Amino acid sequence: MHHSRDAFLLIIREPCHDPNIAKADIVFFREYGMPTANIVTRESLRLLAMLLALSIGVLLVADLWSQSLSQESLATAGRGVIFVLLALGLMGTRRLSVALTALLCGVSLLDLLTVNHTLRLVDVLEIPTLLICAGLLLAPEHPLQDQHSAP
């Protein structure tokens, strides 16, 4: 059986005599022993972070239509374009886009501490995006193998 770094799908059509594989029609495997639930959860969290980053980017760029053109509004729209590009990166599997998204959300979190700051929808979306990206960065990508899942 061929093992790769990515999860792959194996369809069992004949009775299986291997005690490590449950008798089922579809079984997921991972080379490093990562359970299927962790793979799905990690991909779901990454997808959620991507959708949040895309929403933040679209909202920041859309602010150009509700504000007069100034240096501040163009800088905000540029930040929105960066969020859209990071959302494209979050569709992949690398950790750099997760780290950059967390960094960008963390920098704008300092604005929430100012006295005259009015809370906007973008601010509300940046907080869970930061938490999700920080969780994805802190979680091990390849946990240690279980004794039961040894090849």
Q: What is the pLDDT of residues 74-123, one digit of tens each?
A: 999 999 999 999 999 999 888 999 999 999 999 988 888 888 888 899 99
98 in Cβ contact with 49 (< 8 Å): yes
Q: pLDDT for 73-82, tens place per residue?
A: 999 999 999 9
HEC profile for the chain?
CCCCCCCEEEECCCCCCCCCCCCCCEEEECCCCCCHHHHHHHHHHHHHHHHHHHHHHHHHHHHHHCCCCCHHHHHHHHHHHHHHHHHHHHCCCCCHHHHHHHHHHHHHHHHHHCCCCCCCHHHHHHHHHHHHHHHHHHCCCCCCCCCCCCC
Predicted local confidence at residue 148, as pLDDT? 54
With a cut of 90, say whether residue 19 has pLDDT above it.
no
Rounded average pLDDT over 59-69: 92
State pLDDT tens for residues 128-151.
Answer: 999 999 999 998 776 555 545 555
pLDDT for position 2 = 46
Q: Hey, where are the domains in the chain?
A: 37-138
> Which pLDDT belongs to residue 124?
93
Residue 143 has a pLDDT of 59
pTM equals 0.69
Q: What is the pLDDT of residues 24-62, one digit of tens each?
A: 434 444 444 445 556 678 889 999 999 999 999 999 999
